[in-house]
Structure 1
Amino acid sequence: MDLVNLVERMGEAPTAALFGLITGITFGIAAQRSRFCLRAATVEFARGRVEDKVAVWLLTFSTAVVWVQGAQLLGLMDSADARMMAVPGSWSGAIIGGLMFGAGMVLARGCSGRLLVLAATGNLRSVVSGLIFAVVAQMSLSGILSPARDGIAALWITDGGRNMDLLAALGIPHAGGLIIGVAIAAAALALAYRQRIGISRLIFASGVGFAVAVGWVLTYSLAQVAFEPVQIESATFTGPSAHTLMFFLERDAILEFDVGLVPGVFIGAMLAAWFAGEMRFQAFDDAVTMRKAMIGAALMGFGGMLAGGCAIGAGVTGGSIFVGTAWLALFCMWIGAMATDYLVDQKAGTVTA
């Protein structure tokens, strides 16, 4: 069955949700098996080590760039039509939101995507933190926190009514993005070899990057045949967490890519953990840990919405198409996470996995 027939049979919104589900399941399986986590990578780096967690993150990021840029060169997608590229970006939001998100993911011991993956394995700490993250994200999107978000975001926005395409701004040809991705992947593989990371973990780490490309290609393909405008997007968890929450709370909510993505990640991660024998219930260690996690989740909810994406949405998905504010947000997430680890955990002598 071709895509046109699928859309005619299911409708555009259900097809978008199905594509979100496919993207999410792919991401969930790969993320659970690779233990991909930006928070873990930043903490490792902040403590003077460049080991397996950094290698896995670099491989995921680079393979996302390779897959996405390769798809674009083959005409399977066009980043110029992507939602985060086609609208103005906020430099001020990327800086402040990125710092807040980075701090939050250290306090919560995982970024929003990692919390969703852990929740699927029975981690009750991640369930609570994830719910707080989704609620605050919704409050920041259209609730009581939205005026503050709008005010900060408006302080410094990109010129020209669009976000900045870094490749175009730097005069790099279209194939340059693919070359950059390959170069980073080579460095990641060299580091992985030095750390003796198993081949299966490397495959799954690259699978996370592949999932990002799957989302871009599927939504772009749907946009080419849909009668109504379809947003070209891929894996991210700030907006989708808020949208999924409201989908189950509002009777008139509609299906969309986001509503398929979040359950898909949960299903994929749960299946991967189940087959690996890694399903087990975990709770907060103590009241201090719970308090830090709740504060961190709230910071991520507001910070991710302000930055235009979470550690996945801005850091990998936006980075894969060289969105200017996404790369700035990712850099600020690293800075915020490293500073928080130093001030909160290293000074207190805390060691976190």
Structure 2
Amino acid sequence: MDILPLVERIGEGPSAALFGLVTGMVFGIAAQRSSFCLRAACVEFARGQFGHRMAVWLLCFSTALVWVQGASLMGLMRVEDARMMAVTGSWSGAIVGGLLFGVGMVLARGCSGRLLVLAATGNLRSVVSGLIFAVVAIMALQGVLAPARNWIAGLWMTSGGRNVNLLDAAHLPRESGLVLGLVLALLALEIARRNRIGARVLVMASGVGFAVALGWVLTFALSEVAFDPVQIESATFTGPSANMLMFFLIPDPVLEFDIGLVPGVFLGAFLAAWIRKDLRLQGFEGAGPMGRSMIGAALMGFGGMLAGGCAIGAGVTGGSIFAGTAWLALTCMWLGAVIADLLVDQRGSRGVPAE
């Protein structure tokens, strides 16, 4: 992939932002058309169902594994150079943050990525929750919540100054990641067949996984030609949401991948909803649901920053490169969401549906 002419013409920062925009648009279109959401899949699982949402999430996750591991085998990216893999990870942060994020996404009726997609379609609940999520993420990164985050994260860290590559730790060949992705994809397709899910939805679900791989490949390609160091990263929404908000609040903001990603997702989801005539304003149904969503958004903001990523950042993007803390965070997100659904929604007067 020869991106040098582009970088020389517009510069490294604008190129990174452009790659974020492209990645975000692919993600936004695919996520809106497939109704991709980890929270909805967790709710189905908690209620003993393997339905539409489970099939969509599993297909997205599995295709991300296939695309990313395939790109690694082809030399289009190096997993060991990814930002998430090249820094010390926090086991304790993954556990506590993952649990908090899982509870939060059930209370908020969507993970952070889903809230951004819904906001683009006119869902005002998601706009409010998304802003709270971003503000709390900033507070956890460099504000009043930062000491608590640092203390929890420091309780149990990975050794050697790097995260753990699960494939290397298990002494498995590099091809095993691709094989696992293919096996999970077949399982997802079987669940989809039983639920009679159409091919269009399945293509869009796999498109979410493709967007994750696209981000990895584009930022890696930029790092190969850039003069200054470039972070190799892909789709995630905890850090980028905080960075996007700060972009408009600080003097001399810097263009980077994160700054293009969030508006790209919003624009892609908006266009997809506009074409399908799915745009409509929605608000809170009362004070109770509003308070619940705000608490959930706050839990996701702190939990996502503590866990090293959100349901997308840790759950799919980090999972696709087999980062140890990402897989642990994803497991704890599932556990937190299942517990929250069992204790809050299933014990209530009625279950809260997936959106």
Superposed pair shares fold, TM > 0.5: yes
Whether 1:169 and 2:165 are equivalent positions in the alignment is no
Instruction: Indicate the residue corresponding to 2:136 in structure 1.
Output: 136
Instruction: Give the SS at the match of 2:27.
Output: helix
**d(CA) in 1 for partners of 2:241, 2:350:** 30
Instruction: Indicate the residue corresponding to 2:277 in structure 1.
Output: 277
- 1:349 Cα deviation after fit: 2.9
Counterpart of 2:38 in structure 1: which amino acid? Answer: L
How many residues of Structure 1 are paired with residues of Structure 2 in the alignment? 353
Instruction: Indicate the residue corresponding to 2:266 in structure 1.
Output: 266
Gap regions ≥5 residues in structure 1: none
- 1:351 Cα deviation after fit: 1.9
Instruction: Indicate the residue corresponding to 2:45 in structure 1.
Output: 45
| Post-superposition CA distance 1:94-150 (Å, at most 9, x none) | 000000000000000000000000000000000000000000001111111111100
Instruction: Give the SS at the match of 1:160.
Output: coil
**d(CA) in 1 for partners of 2:73, 2:178:** 9
Counterpart of 1:267 in structure 2: which amino acid? Answer: L
Instruction: Give the SS at the match of 1:309.
Output: coil
- 1:251 Cα deviation after fit: 2.0
**d(CA) in 2 for partners of 1:288, 1:111:** 19
Aligned-residue CA RMSD (Å): 0.8
| Post-superposition CA distance 1:252-283 (Å, at most 9, x none) | 11110000000000000000000001000000
Instruction: Indicate the residue corresponding to 2:118 in structure 1.
Output: 118
Whether 1:72 and 2:72 are equivalent positions in the alignment is yes
Whether 1:183 and 2:180 are equivalent positions in the alignment is no
Instruction: Give the SS at the match of 1:9.
Output: helix
Using structure 1 for the length normalisation, give the TM-score.
0.99
Counterpart of 1:300 in structure 2: which amino acid? Answer: M
| Post-superposition CA distance 1:150-183 (Å, at most 9, x none) | 0000000001110000000001101010000000
- 1:352 Cα deviation after fit: 1.9
- 1:6 Cα deviation after fit: 0.8
Structure 1 segments, 4+ long, off by >4 Å, are none
**d(CA) in 2 for partners of 1:144, 1:240:** 19
| Post-superposition CA distance 1:176-235 (Å, at most 9, x none) | 100000000000001100110010000000000000000000000000000000000000
| Post-superposition CA distance 1:321-344 (Å, at most 9, x none) | 000000000000000001011111
**d(CA) in 2 for partners of 1:240, 1:29:** 18
Percent identity over the alignment is 70
**d(CA) in 2 for partners of 1:202, 1:73:** 25
Instruction: Indicate the residue corresponding to 1:160 in structure 2.
Output: 160
Gap regions ≥5 residues in structure 2: none
**d(CA) in 1 for partners of 2:250, 2:136:** 17
Counterpart of 1:93 in structure 2: which amino acid? Answer: G
**d(CA) in 1 for partners of 2:149, 2:189:** 39
Instruction: Indicate the residue corresponding to 2:23 in structure 1.
Output: 23
Using structure 2 for the length normalisation, give the TM-score.
0.99
Instruction: Give the SS at the match of 2:105.
Output: helix
- 1:2 Cα deviation after fit: 4.1
**d(CA) in 1 for partners of 2:249, 2:166:** 39
